[in-house]
Structure 1
Amino acid sequence: MEKRSSLSICLRLLKLVKPLAGFMVLAVGMGIAGHLCASFLTVLGVFAVLSVLQVTTALSLKIIFILLAVFAVCRGFLRYGEQACNHFIAFKLLALIRDKVFRALRRLCPAKLEGKEKGNLISVITSDIELLEVFYAHTISPVLIAVCTSVFMCLFIGRYHWALGGLAAASYFILGCVLPGITSRMSGGHGADFRKQTGELGSYVLDSLRGLEENIQYQMGEERLKEMNERADKLSEEEKHMKKLAGNNQAVIHTAVLVLSLAMLLSSSFLFQKQLIGFEGILISTVALMSSFGPVIALANLSSTLQSTMAAGNRVLDILDEMPLTEDITDQPEQVFSGARLQHVEFGYGDEKILSDISLSISKNQIIGITGKSGSGKSTLLKLLMRFWERDQGSITISGTDINCINTLNLRNMESFVTQETYLFHDSIENNIRIAKPDASREEIEKACRKASVHDFIISLPNGYQTNAGELGDALSGGERQRIGLARAFLHEAPFILLDEPTSNLDSLNEGAVLKALCQERSGKTMVLVSHRPSTMKIADYVCPIEHGRVS
């Protein structure tokens, strides 16, 4: 995780407000007016008391009561309007940020996401982005409101004496800046640690749920539960420490309010004794200060939660700023598939070399078989052809053009990739297949399923094609999921089909049916078939063995 200062995080998050700047100005304006109305309700009350005591004031009793009624009503409407604008901005921006995050994840996948903890990603997408609502709805406008109302009240109190105006300014500065700064420094990195531990706990729980059967089989449930409880307890301790700091912060703030109010009372009394201000100046200055602490207290209270908010913002920015290993390519001439070629290709994951000096020619309308031991680089080769990863050296061309010069959308339309593990969404079987061609008719889907030898199985289900595949495809066997993956490839109708162990989960009968379908569909198609089964390789025109990352 990149370490950013709170200021840099705030500035980055503030840039997102630009499209909604008008609503922000409106929220701040209503907030300033609302807080001033609230403060002057108390001040006007003092003016009314002075009038009753027959102390000469600038306002008559009648005017005071009219203003009290107007300010009271306006305060309610202005407060509602301010909160409505702030939350409108917040939720609009949260939707915008989620859209940006999903777009970033799309750019990063699959290469940059293979090593990411899924629970941590879910935590960023959900709770971290949700926490930014605090920043947009309860931080930006409160800061501006606190500054503006404080300046106005300093000028108002300073009318009685400049020293009282200066004391008011110092009071606002201590409550709104000094104390929050101290609290933030005391919090240290607890906010970032809390967000990190939350994400890690989410990953661990998700991992435990997915491996529930293995945990039961090997009696690891108690061990996993113990670890889960230890992580939860550690997270609770972190939260307890943060709550304690927040409580101490509240105590210090309220003590400071009393001390600063007392300081204003003593200072104004001293000036009264020196006959520099009248009795009115004592009451109005003290009451005006005490009634106007609301905006700066709200600002001070934010410091205890702002650490977590900034940590959440930092985690979101990490995703938005991360550079993909393969950038999407656009604005290149469209290509029509006419064959592929790899020349002296080398690739490795970090320091681990996977492929060394791979050269392979794939002619149009051929079925090329690739065999080799597990870990020899067979699947990696297909991912390079899909441009999921960038090769380290050598060249990969399709239709005589380097794949780095082919539009990403064009490349995806030319290729179909069937992986070893077919992912199924929590949706109907029909919709799971339809993702290969969103505008496909029911007849086209059924035709693709017949080719993949899965149509008869689907129609035997109680709800047929509308049967829900279950979360992660748990309602289906491995072989059924694999055949649905093949149906997707057939529906996609790409001229270049990459098959990674397409029959590994099938029995010999279904394997024969799928291989027969592949042979029947080979007209106008080029296939690269990765498998460790000799029976699968029988349909290949040419078999290329790979050992230790090299073509043997």
Structure 2
Amino acid sequence: DLMLDDMRGLDEIIHFGQGESRVQPIICGTKGLWKRRIRLSNWIGRASGVSSVLVVASTAASIMIALLSIASGSSEPANIASVVLFASSFGPVLALSALPGSLTQTFAAARRLFALLDEQPAVEEQGMLKPGYDGMSMHNVRFGYGRSEISGHTIAESLVLNGFSLDVPARGILGLKAPSGSGKSTVLRLLMRYWDPQEGVIELSGQPLQEVDARHRRQLQTMMSQETYLFDGTIRDNLLIADAHADDDQVRTALEQASVLDLVDSLPQGLDTQVGELGGRMSEGERQRIGLARMFLRHADLMLFDEPTSRLDALNEAVILASLRHLADEQEVSMVLVSHRDSTMRIADMVRTM
């Protein structure tokens, strides 16, 4: 975990000259782990040696008893069979004696496994309703991230939203504008039902969100967050996540709408270009535009955008905003656009300031 954390933040470590200070905990942890492994290996070696000596001694003793029996003329075939069975019975015993050597690793793996199994889902998906999309709404919503249990009730320790209400239209673009930290991204995640509010009601087409079937809801909604995640595969693979049945013409149209088609065509392998782990072979702006193309390919009724142009220059921002405006008019979809930029809010039909 330490190693992965530092590898992901390698740029910052280099930029701020913290290589030596960051590598010391890894070296100390490695040495400590190595010492414990040496002690465990020594213990296993001694136990294995003692077991082997006892097995050899016991087997030799049984053979001597059998030979003495034969020499005295009192041996029977059953005695010979008993010696063979006795000698062969040590296999399971030796396997059992070696168990403690791997038991510590087994316990550690079991703890990680049970920690995952004991995780509680943020929301319970038990809804059955499948309404068509006709807007969403939030009524007097109270939500906070820090929670505590008091008398069996979940209480928010620090509220992000307090009595917040919002109407998302069935068609058109709604802009949410507010300073950083005011809860804009939280609103989008509540609309997607990543969490449930502590108080208040969120509705989809007039139905409480928790009563709507999760699979159906995810067909109606899609969201693009501030950080676009690209899987270690090709550009095509990452786009087809949105629509596995899309053909090349549809993919190229989505790329054109996201102002990234020229870039893809300039690559030697085009759509089959590998993006690398975490999309590391592409810049942040390129990843964001591929994420936008993925949104255009989805064809959802409600599209939620969290700072969709934050990593783009003014020219690409203008192209993408024009594409969003065209998509909202042509396909009559609903969009919620979160941004603190005035330029982004210009395409919205209505703007809500939080």
Q: Which residue of 2 aligns with 1:455?
A: 261
Q: Which residue of 2 aligns with 1:411?
A: 217
Q: Which residue of 2 aligns with 1:341?
A: 137
Map 1:74-473 onto structure 2 (within 5 A): 203-257=1-55, 278=74, 288-329=85-126, 332-350=128-146, 351-473=157-279
Q: CA deviation at 1:284?
A: 6.5
CA distance in 2 between counterparts of 1:535 and 1:528 reads 15
Q: In structure 1, which of residues 531, 536, 550 is the aligned counterpart of residue 339 of structure 2?
A: 531
Report the 3-state secondary structure (helix = DSSP H, G, I; strand = E; otherwise coil) of the residue aligned with 2:335: strand
Q: CA deviation at 1:328?
A: 3.6
Q: CA deviation at 1:259?
A: 6.8
Q: Which residue of 2 aligns with 1:79?
A: none
Distance 1:373 1:263, change over 3 A: farther
CA distance in 2 between counterparts of 1:434 and 1:287 reads 64
Does structure 2 conserve the Cα–Cα contact (< 8 Å) formed by 1:249 and 1:304? no
Q: Which residue of 1 aligns with 2:353?
A: 545
Q: What amino acid is the match of 2:255? A: C
CA distance in 1 between counterparts of 2:272 and 2:95 reads 53
Q: Are 2:294 and 1:496 aligned?
A: no
Q: Out of 381-390 and 346-355, give the one that drifted further.
A: 346-355
Report the 3-state secondary structure (helix = DSSP H, G, I; strand = E; otherwise coil) of the residue aligned with 1:368: strand
Q: CA deviation at 1:370?
A: 1.2
Does structure 2 conserve the Cα–Cα contact (< 8 Å) formed by 1:345 and 1:359? yes
CA distance in 1 between counterparts of 2:198 and 2:39 reads 48
Q: CA deviation at 1:323?
A: 2.6
Q: What amino acid is the match of 1:542? A: M
Deviations along 1:259-297, whole A, 9 cap, x unmatched?
Answer: 76688799x89xx9xx9x955588775664344222222
Q: CA deviation at 1:224?
A: 2.1
CA distance in 2 between counterparts of 1:530 and 1:247 reads 63
Q: What amino acid is the match of 2:95? A: A
Distance 1:208 1:357, change over 3 A: same
Report the 3-state secondary structure (helix = DSSP H, G, I; strand = E; otherwise coil) of the residue aligned with 1:539: coil
TM-score, normalised via structure 2 length: 0.86
CA distance in 1 between counterparts of 2:119 and 2:162 reads 28
Higher relative contact order (CA 8 A, sep 6+): 2
Percent identity for Structure 1 against Structure 2: 39
Q: Which runs of 5+ in 1 are unaligned?
A: 1-202, 547-552
Greater gyration radius = 1
| Higher strand proportion | 2
CA distance in 1 between counterparts of 2:190 and 2:74 reads 84
Q: CA deviation at 1:510?
A: 1.0
Deviations along 1:227-265, whole A, 9 cap, x unmatched?
Answer: 221121122122222212212321342354467668879
CA distance in 1 between counterparts of 2:346 and 2:82 reads 95
CA distance in 2 between counterparts of 1:282 and 1:460 reads 83
Deviations along 1:286-309, whole A, 9 cap, x unmatched?
Answer: 664344222222222223213322
CA distance in 2 between counterparts of 1:265 and 1:515 reads 89
Does structure 1 conserve the Cα–Cα contact (< 8 Å) formed by 2:125 and 2:210? no
Distance 1:244 1:352, change over 3 A: farther
Does structure 2 conserve the Cα–Cα contact (< 8 Å) formed by 1:265 and 1:282? no
Q: How many residues align?
A: 337
CA distance in 2 between counterparts of 1:345 and 1:279 reads 90
Deviations along 1:11-30, whole A, 9 cap, x unmatched?
Answer: xxxxxxxxxxxxxxxxxxxx
Q: Out of 458-467 and 415-424, give the one that drifted further.
A: 458-467
Q: Which runs of 5+ in 2 are unaligned?
A: 147-156
Report the 3-state secondary structure (helix = DSSP H, G, I; strand = E; otherwise coil) of the residue aligned with 2:243: coil
Distance 1:537 1:254, change over 3 A: same
CA distance in 2 between counterparts of 1:451 and 1:354 reads 34
Distance 1:213 1:311, change over 3 A: closer
CA distance in 1 between counterparts of 2:337 and 2:231 reads 25
CA distance in 1 between counterparts of 2:55 and 2:277 reads 55
CA distance in 2 between counterparts of 1:287 and 1:386 reads 69
Distance 1:291 1:488, change over 3 A: closer
Report the 3-state secondary structure (helix = DSSP H, G, I; strand = E; otherwise coil) of the residue aligned with 1:521: helix
